[in-house]
């Protein structure tokens, strides 16, 4: 991959309308149709606060597996001391996490490589894929549907969810408990893929190749992990701490960054 440009951090509005510095807003017709369909089922599970950063935990329903939800977390980071003291968070810069399979296999390594992944939640990613670029990766950052839906949901409810006083009317979760409540993506993918396999079999598909093709198409990914085998569920342990103990957190060793300020991207072990 060519040299990695320094990240340009963005607000929620930046991400929705001009992601990653795009001059022209992308066509989000399909995502907006999904939002219209799912918006009454999207919900804020909780929020948490750590080192003046706000974490909003959003549950996004799966379109392919009834009753299945994916965990999305959007971190809001104060760009400077002035904004840190304000009630509104519309000018905070954001970082991301999702355990949606499409995000994990299309964008997680890219987001991590370019510095847009929430540090404290990286351990929730399957280590076999968190640092591996997809085969067809062109290095281009873009939306994942789960992130777009979560951000649009927050934006449409911004009077409550982008306001510290508004958030106080919702459920606040201890940061450690929030992290522990989120499924590792291999657990999430295993259950989702299993559900889709069962659906394929109910529809009369018995050929393994056809079932795999059906699963990949439904998940929106080109390759299933581990040579087309559904991964086994492996329960990961979180080492995130709080209450005075050092945590893996993007701002523990750096000062908050200004909106669109450039910083040096962190070293990554992404395989090329």
* CB atoms inside a 10 Å sphere around CB 199: 17
- Residue 131 CA to residue 141 CA, distance in Å, equals 15
Question: What was the pLDDT predicted at 250?
Answer: 36
For the chain, report the end-to-end CA distance as a whole number of angstroms. 7
Rg of the chain on CA atoms, in Å:
18
Which regions of the chain are under pLDDT 70?
1-5, 128-130, 134-139, 184-272
Alpha carbon 103 to its chain's center: 7
Query: Domain map of the chain by residue range?
Result: 12-183
Position 49 scores a pLDDT of: 97
Nearest alpha carbon to residue 147 among 220, 74, 209, 87? 74
Q: Which long-range contacts does 189-192 make (Cβ < 8 Å, 24+ apart)?
A: 189/99, 189/101, 189/104, 189/126, 189/219, 189/225, 189/230, 189/231, 190/230, 190/231, 190/232, 190/233, 191/68, 191/233, 192/62, 192/64, 192/65, 192/68, 192/101, 192/219
pLDDT on residue 240? 33
Using CA atoms, how far apart are residues 158 and 163, in angstroms rounded to an integer?
7
Whether this prediction's pTM lies above 0.75 is answered by no
CA dist 68 and 2 (Å) reads: 38
Residue 26 Cα distances to 14, 124, 149, angstroms: 12, 29, 15
CA gap 202, 84 in Å, rounded:
53
């Amino acid at each position: 991959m060519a040299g990695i440009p320094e990240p340009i951090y963005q607000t929620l509005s930046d991400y929705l309308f001009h992601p990653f510095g795009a001059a022209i807003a992308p066509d989000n017709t399909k995502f907006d149709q999904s939002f219209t369909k799912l918006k009454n089922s999207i919900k804020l599970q909780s929020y948490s606060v750590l080192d003046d950063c706000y974490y909003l935990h959003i549950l996004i329903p799966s379109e392919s597996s009834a009753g299945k939800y994916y965990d999305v977390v959007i971190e809001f980071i104060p760009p400077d001391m002035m904004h840190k003291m304000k009630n509104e968070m519309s000018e905070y810069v954001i970082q991301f996490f999702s355990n949606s399979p499409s995000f994990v296999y299309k964008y997680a390594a890219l987001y991590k490589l370019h510095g847009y992944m929430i540090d404290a939640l990286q351990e929730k990613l399957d280590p076999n894929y968190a640092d591996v670029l997809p085969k067809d990766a062109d290095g281009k950052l873009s939306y994942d549907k789960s992130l777009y839906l979560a951000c649009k949901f927050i934006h449409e409810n911004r009077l409550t969810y982008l306001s510290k006083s508004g958030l106080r009317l919702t459920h606040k979760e201890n940061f450690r408990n929030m992290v522990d409540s989120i499924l590792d993506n291999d657990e999430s993918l295993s259950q989702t893929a299993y559900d889709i396999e069962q659906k394929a079999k109910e529809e009369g598909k018995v050929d393994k190749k056809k079932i795999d093709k059906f699963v990949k198409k439904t998940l929106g990914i080109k390759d299933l992990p581990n040579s087309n085998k559904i991964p086994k569920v492996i329960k990961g342990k979180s080492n995130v701490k709080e209450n005075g103990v050092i945590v893996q957190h993007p701002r523990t060793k750096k000062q908050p960054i200004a909106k669109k300020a450039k910083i040096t991207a962190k070293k990554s072990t992404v395989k090329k």
